Amino acid sequence: MSKNAEKKGRKKRVNYFATPYTLSNALKEGGTATKISLLVMGAANIAHKQIVKGLLFLALEIAYFAYMIKIGFGCLAMLPSLGDKASEKVWNEAKGIYEYTAGDQSILILLYGIIAIAITVLFVLLWRASVTSGYKAQYLSERKMHVNNFIEDVKDLFNGNLHKMLMALPLTGILAFTVLPLIFMITMAFTNYSKVDDHLTLFDWVGLANFAKVLNFKDSIGQTFWSVLGWTIIWAVFATGLNYIFGMILGIVINRKGTRCKAFWRFCFVLSIAVPQFVSLLIMRTCLQPEGAVNVLLKNMGIINESLPFFTNATWARVTVIIINCWVGIPYTLLQVTGILQNIPAELYEAARVDGANAVVTFFKITLPYMLFVTTPYLITQFTGNVNNFNVIFLLSGGSPTPVGSTAGKTDLLVTWLYKLTIDQQYYNLGAVIGILTFVVLAIVALVTYRNTGSYKNEEGFM
């Protein structure tokens, strides 16, 4: 066969898996009813005897425009300015009192504006589904093929389209309770929404001014941000690394052949997990106070004369929270690594002993590389969790010690500082900026770390 014949044969090949019910085909080949459905959703379905389906599309279109006319279009129109009419104090002659007239509320304009945009995006997808559905009904009718009625479509949801029915509710929940709040928080970072500047009712867009303020070394907020960011990274590295190393060593000691009562020792260390973490942390906070049990006991024993500054000195406080976090976190690592340690091939250790390797060499050449290969995703998760470890810092030290005039303490992480800025001081715009920057830092660290590990580069196996 010549090359020209081969090329012609290739052109004649048909993709039997490609569906003809596309929006482009509907626009090109759609009949009158399909063209009408571009404006009146469900018209093509009704014309081809899919009455209930067509009426549902039409009802959703009416509901969309009713919402947009009542709320959506007004909020979208005011979204660029976020409102400009303030509440006014007016004297009421009849009542003899001052009354306040209703003004614009920027927070509601922003919220409803974002919701209107989200609903519009969903409506466009629904409109596309309506047009393609109507074209499908036309396509099948013209070829004398069976067109499903409403009951058959419902039955299909429990058969061929079961995945769509099962995923509808979770996706709706994610959009409503995760995606929309995130978008709302992100947009807040570009406004001056803050009680400190009296911008709670009416506020404006300020572009990247908040980011410039937070990242500026000369600004007090910027200086605090870089200081807190540095401590957050140090905390996350130590909290993750120490828990991992000591948890692994503890697992190796318990799992070795010479250790008796393995189940008992695991029970002792895992017992702390059974106690709610906030209870353990609050008890430790009480014990480590200047007049707490630890200081009183040490004084009575004559070891110290003055109370140890567990939470009043910056260095002591940082070391204290790291050590207590190890006490809380090592049992979790012990559980994670126990099963992995038992699955390391025994032949590797036997070969190492034959070659004369001692326990230290065996650990660094076999155990640690194998563990890192398997547990890298877990380490990344732990690092991310420690960056956002609100409980340990807030319940133990509360961020203390806090310098006079500062918005953050010496042990505050980005997440606890964000809490103080928004809940205590109501810097909502700056809190949104810090939330975005925290996400950026974590995303970069996670992606770069994972892509440069054996777990990503060599997924097939170890060694």
Domain boundary residue, one of 188, 217, 248 = 188
Indicate whether 170 and 280 sit together in one domain. Answer: no
Indicate whether 254 and 378 sit together in one domain. Answer: yes
Domain count, the chain: 2
Indicate whether 393 and 324 sit together in one domain. Answer: yes
Burial class (CB in 10 A: 0-12, 13-18, 19+), 248: buried
Burial class (CB in 10 A: 0-12, 13-18, 19+), 173: exposed
Residue range 401-451, pLDDT digits in tens: 988 878 899 999 999 999 999 998 889 999 999 999 999 989 888 888 888
Indicate whether 164 and 216 sit together in one domain. Answer: no
Structural domain that includes position 26: 19-86+101-188
Q: Identify the three-state secondary structure at position 300.
A: helix
Q: Which helix (H) or strand (E) holds 446?
A: helix 428-451
Give me the CATH number covering residue 441: 1.10.3720.10
Query: Whole-angstrom Cα distance, residue 268 to residue 279?
Result: 18
Q: What pLDDT is stored for residue 377 in this prediction?
A: 85
- Tell me the chain's radius of gyration from C-alpha atoms: 32
Indicate whether 322 and 434 sit together in one domain. Answer: yes
Residue 164 has pLDDT above 80, yes or no: yes
Indicate whether 453 and 348 sit together in one domain. Answer: yes
- Please count the CA atoms within 13 angstroms of the CA of 279 that sit on its side-chain side: 5
Q: What pLDDT is stored for residue 460 in this prediction?
A: 56
Q: What pLDDT is stored for residue 348 in this prediction?
A: 86
Indicate whether 161 and 250 sit together in one domain. Answer: no
Evaluate whether residue 306 is within a structural domain: yes
Evaluate whether residue 163 is within a structural domain: yes
Evaluate whether residue 48 is within a structural domain: yes
- Among residues of the chain, what percentage have pLDDT more than 70? 92
Indicate whether 262 and 319 sit together in one domain. Answer: yes
Indicate whether 257 and 317 sit together in one domain. Answer: yes
Indicate whether 111 and 228 sit together in one domain. Answer: no
Residue 4: pLDDT band by 50, 70, 90 thresholds?
Answer: low
Indicate whether 346 and 377 sit together in one domain. Answer: yes
Sign of CA dihedral 102, 108, 109, 112: negative
Q: Which residue has the higher pLDDT, 234 or 406?
A: 234
Burial class (CB in 10 A: 0-12, 13-18, 19+), 403: exposed
| Mean pLDDT of all residues in 157-181 | 90
pTM of the model: 0.82
Indicate whether 299 and 179 sit together in one domain. Answer: no
